[in-house]
A and B are shown apart, each in its own frame.
Chain A
Amino acid sequence: MRTNDVMLQTATKVVTFIILMFAVHIFFAGHYTPGGGFVGGLLTASAIVLLMLAYDIETVKKIIPFNYVMMTATGLLLALGTASASIFFNVPFFTHAYDYFDLPLWGKTSLHSAALFDLGVYLVVVGVTMTIIQTIGEDE
């Protein structure tokens, strides 16, 4: 007999939002406080997993229409590209650059190329985790 998941689905709507916010927060906080692209990515993935638990794979695919392999590849390229930028300045690979900027509205912000690298990590982690879960989940 099938049971309905109304209670779970309702809670999920709120909870997923909370998790995603938290994931973004933890991603950006990484450089100064615990966190970073890796945990952020995994949290994002778990938010999607929660959606899959509450609804079903097809529905979630419709909501988030990403090809996760490409996401992985993009992440890899981003991380590699960030690190490789230093090649063009003929300084050792992976030399990061950072500076402080005064952005309107935002105030004084530090922009660090490591953040871009971390974004690559984030994308790879989300991509791979979701690839794995989705492929296993879809398999008969």
Chain B
Amino acid sequence: MRNSLREERFSIETTIVNILIIILISVGVIFSAVTALGLVRLPDVYTRTHAASKSSTLGVMCILGGTFIHFWLLEDHFNPQLVIAIAFLFITSPVAGHLIGRASYMSGIPLAEETVRDDMKIAIEKKKGEQK
């Protein structure tokens, strides 16, 4: 009932907003799909972490942005939690990715055969040398 009233009055704006939402969500969905692809196809845990933490964060932020705009502009419901959620994901995802990566390395999971460089190894040995 409320929707229909509003749609009549701001039909052009609505269309624009809808296009915005479609763009945001499409981008988000594509990134998410890429994440999945990455997680399935990439060879070792480190590369998969890469896929999971970066593209998926971006993907979900876009989708949340779209949702936020939908509710804010179309349904007139300003939802601060969505904003906070976006900020939250922005802060935490990289940290989480970092933690998993480091944990995997520390627990001795081997790198993929294609790996060319291992800086961490050098750093750790250096530190160990210092401790001795």
A residues in contact (CB < 8 Å) with B:
1, 3, 7-8, 11, 14-15, 18, 21-22, 25
Contact = CB atoms under 8 A, between A and B. Distances in A.
Contact of A22 (B84, B106, B127): B84
Given A3-B102, A15-B91, 12 more contacts: A1-B127, A1-B128, A3-B106, A7-B95, A7-B98, A11-B91, A11-B92, A14-B91, A15-B88, A15-B92, A18-B87, A21-B84
Contacts, number: 25
Contacts of B88: 15, 18
Interface of B: 81, 84, 87-88, 91-92, 95, 98-99, 102, 106, 124, 127-128
Given A8-B95, A11-B91, A18 B84 contact: yes
Given A1-B124, A1-B128, A3-B102, A22 B81 contact: yes
Interface of A is mostly: helix
B99 A8 contact: yes
Contacts of B128: 1
A11 B98 CA distance: 12
A18 B124 CA distance: 34
